[in-house]
Amino acid sequence: MNRRFLLVLLSSVSTAVLFLFLVVLFPGESGSFGLKLMGLRIKQGNNTFSALHRKLLHGTTMKEPNRLPGEKCTKADIVINQGATRPLPTGIPTYTVEIMNICFTGCDISGIHLNCGWFSSARLINPKTFRRLHYNDCLVNDGKPLINGGTVSFQYANTFLYPLSVSRVICS
């Protein structure tokens, strides 16, 4: 056999063995085969997804939430995706947030409030898009309706990702 071919084959095999070793040594949460090692973070709560150096945010297939008879919409009709984006020149991490209205009944949803802790950002956010009113109470879209299928997005900069979840909505 050719020496060059053997060298390439040996290099490929050693890279695969190293990868498998790292996956076994650093398994992700709940047996996710090293996804944690590769920088992917998935939280099932309010669909928080992040992947290092990714600008596109991917949602999951959603099923219609359980509704009470006559109920037009629920806070489950608002989905929040957020992920890490390129840091500021100062090195502060940034995150992109997408807030989507996925109402299956075709409703517009207004008065969207999120649980957001002491949310703050080193990057200015348009207060008509997103602002903290009080501790753990942030308002989306200035309280105005988010149309069916609509999305509001913004970026914030902080040393850590804020967990965001819907606290209340008004069905329009």
Pairing status of strand 137-140 against strand 130-134: antiparallel
| Per-residue pLDDT at 5 | 55
- Beta-bridged to residue 115, according to DSSP, are 165
Q: How far apart are CA 49 and CA 107, in angstroms?
A: 25
| Per-residue pLDDT at 113 | 97
pLDDT, tens digit (0-9, with 9 covering 90-100), for 69-116: 456 789 999 999 999 999 999 999 999 999 999 988 889 999 999 999
Distance spanning both ends of the chain, measured CA to CA: 73
Q: How far apart are CA 33 and CA 35, in angstroms?
A: 6
For the chain, list the domains and their CATH numbers.
75-171 (2.60.40)
String of DSSP letters for 8-38: HHHHHHHHHHHHHHHHHHS--GGG-TTTTTT
Q: 122 or 60, which is more confident?
A: 122
